[in-house]
Structures are given as C-alpha cells and as structure tokens.
Amino acid sequence: MAGLKLRISEDGLHREVLTNGELPPLFFEITPRDGASPPAFDGGDFALIAMLPIAMYQMVDLHAEFELDSTLLDGLDHYQEVWHSWRPDIYKKKIQITSDSESSRANVGQETKRALVAFSAGIDSTFTLSRHAHKEAGRAIRDVATAVMVHGFDMPLDAADGFETMARHGTAICRDLGVDLVTVKTNWRSLVTNWEMTFGAGLASVLHQFSHRHDIALIATEESYQNCFPVWGNSFWSDRFFSSSKLKIESDGGAFDRIERASYIGQYRSLIPHLHVCWAGPRTGENCGVCPKCILTKLNFVAAGVPQPWPFPQPLTTRLISEMPLKTRWQRQFLELILVKMEKEPTANAEIVAAVMRRLGLEQPPQKNRKFSTAVLKSALWSSFARTTD
C-alpha cells in the first residue's frame, strides 16, 4: 500500500504528492495571470484523484495520510468499477483506498455558486466559457469566475515558450469575457499510462485545487451526446464521479456538436484570433494550420458558415484536405460527420465538399446514401466501445 503525503509551499502555489517511492512524485505549480487571485489550499482531495489512475494501473492500494471527502470516495469507487468494466486490460482490479479520516461539507443552500472552467483556448472549452459568461446556457448557467489552463497536458513541459504564447491567447479570451485565468504546471501526464483513457482525472485533480473559492467546476465534453466517445478520458458518463461535497464536477456542452460550437463562437469574432486547437504541429503556441486537428477545425468553420479570418496561417484548400492524414478512427469519424453537415447546406463550397468525399473514398454525397449517413451516426455513438484504441 502506498501512503500519500502532501508537501505544500508556504505561499500555497507549489504542491507535491509523495509516496516514499512506491509511486512517482507528482507536482503542481500554480500561476495566477493578469491579476487573478491565487487558489487557497483546501485539502488533499486533488492528490487522491491525481494518483488514482496511476495506482489503478499498477494495482497499488492507496492510503491518504490526510483527510478525504466522503462524497468523493463514494464517486471514485464507482469510477473504478466503470473503468474496470470498460477496460479490464488496463485496470485489472479495484484498488483499496483508505485515509486518516473522512469528512463531508454540509449543503450551503441555493445561493449563487462560483464556478471555474477547465480551459485550453480550444473550440470546446471556449464555447463553454463563452456561453456561461454571456449567460446563454439556460438553466445550466453557472457564475464562472475562473478559467484554468494546464501546462503539461497538450503542451509539453519542455515547450515553455509555446505555453506562454498559448497562455497569452487564453488571457485575451478570458479578459474579453471578464473571467480570471490561472495556469497550472504539472508533470502528471508524464506519469500516467493510456493518457486518452485517464486525462479526465488529471483535469479533475487540477480543478479540485480551486475548491476553496469555487463550488462548481465545468469540463467541456469532447463531442456531443449524439457523437460521443463513451469510453474516453473525458466523458459525461464518468466526470461526475470526481465530485465531492466541496466541488461539483459538471460536464458541459453535450447538446452541441463541434460544428454548432464553432458556429456559436463565430458570433463573437474577437475570440476567434485567440483560439488554440493545434497539438500535433510544432509546439509554438500557435496553430500550424496543416495538422489533422487544424484542418478539421477549418472544416468545422466551413460547415458552420463562420467566415474568415480564422486563427491559422493559411486558408483551407482542397490540397490540404486531400493530403490530410487519417491515422485514427476518430479523425475519419469527425470528417464523415462534417461531410454530412456540409451536404445539408445549399451554400456549401462544392470544391471543398468534393475534396472531402474524395479523401473519404466516396463516390456519391452522403445525402444520396442513407446507408452511409446512418452508419456514420451509429459509428459515432458506439465505436469507442472497442477494447483497443487507435
């Protein structure tokens, strides 16, 4: 059994999770940006969430040498059951979790609660941040006060200059929306196996470090409910299991696909130059414009009817589409969904539509091939239940 210990700096901005060598040491460094308030230390729940996927993979039981939230412990018990059921090849058994003590914060009533958002300056998180900042989320509106951007997830730790560029773009978006930005540097990704299956835990561990002044944390869904990947690190199926009595984790935006999110952001033109979607190109903090993620985002803008300029150094061309690598199942799936959407728009650029069809190896439009359209939607909903990942 690995004993979890905390080491917190005097100013509370450097936090370490240690286990006397049973598991690798983990750190978080917190930097408030543009006059934002630093998060006060509010307990060790974050440490358990961060270490859980690592311990699950290594089949090491955990004992927290500090107090834990009982609501969180209940949720993480379910989280383990879900992942053992979904991916028994990775998580072979439930591990035991104990602590020096447990507590639960009493419900403080229905007054307005402060929220924070996991933020990367991408389409999904910018959509979530913007629709809540503009009070356009209906009954789901949350009083978002803080956005949190992580260095060490999509942007590697050794790409410090690239992250600073990305953070400047994030600061511009947050300033425009009246929200504070805080960045958190961590080595968590370098310690976990199967990042795609676990990154939701990494996000939740960062967000829980803001529980002293926030009651709700929003994580943007990767895709819509209709097109979702159920077996995925960030899922509305499993994110809720990271909630505690102090901080409720909510998935946001699942009623909208990425094209609809791009369309929404297109209403707020000042946000578009600062969007950052590129993670496969050079780690400069800018979008390369030629990797699959950048090309798919351009196509999302086309399908959504969002006019240029876009945050890329070059326009979308048929050559970019024809040379676009389709290395994973999800890349092809998103391209198929974009094609289905574009075919429904009478004003869609015929050359772009034809280029997408050729890249997918199709001879006729999806609207004329009901079997294809139905297969795309079914694939979008169920493909990620496969036991292997691309």
Rounded mean pLDDT, 188-192: 96
Please, are residues 29 and 16 in contact by the beta-carbon 8 Å criterion?
no
* Vertex 131: Cα angle to 376 and 38 (nearest 5): 115
Report pLDDT digits (tens) over 346-377. Answer: 888 999 999 999 999 986 655 554 444 444 44
What percentage of the chain exceeds 70 in pLDDT? Answer: 91
- Helix (H) / strand (E) element for 199: namely helix 195-207
Tell me the two tokens of residue 384.
């990620």
Instruction: Kindly state the average pLDDT of the residues 42-64.
Output: 97
* pLDDT at 147 (0 to 100): 99
Please, are residues 45 and 15 in contact by the beta-carbon 8 Å criterion? no
Quote the pLDDT of residue 232: 75
Average pLDDT, the chain: 91
Percent share of the chain, pLDDT over 90 = 79
Cβ atoms < 10 Å from Cβ of 50: 26
Q: 380, 149, 150, 129: which is closest to 264 by C-alpha?
A: 129
Q: Return the beta strands (E) in the chain as ranges.
A: 2-8, 14-18, 26-33, 62-69, 97-103, 114-118, 143-151, 180-186, 216-220, 248-252
Q: Is 60 exposed, middle or buried (0-12, 13-18, 19+ CB in 10 A)?
A: middle
* Interval 316-323 mean pLDDT: 96
Average pLDDT of the residues in 4-8: 98
The pLDDT score that the predictor gives to residue 109 is 57
The candidate with the shortest Cα–Cα distance to 162, out of 283, 54, 334, 343, is: 283
Mean pLDDT of the 130-142 span: 97
For the cut 60, the answer to whether the pLDDT of residue 118 exceeds it is yes
**What global pTM score does this model have?**
0.91
pLDDT at 112 over 90: no
Which domains, ranges and CATH numbers included, belong to the chain?
2-28+38-103 (no CATH), 114-252 (3.40.50.620), 287-385 (no CATH)
Alpha carbons 74 and 234: distance in angstroms, whole number: 19
Return d(Cα 259, Cα 59) in angstroms, integer. Answer: 40
Q: What is the pLDDT of residues 230-276, one digit of tens each?
A: 677 787 888 999 999 999 999 999 999 999 999 999 999 999 999 99
Minimal CA–CA distance to 326: which of 313, 339, 315? Answer: 339
Tokens of 139: 């009954």
| DSSP-derived 3-state class of residue 246 | coil
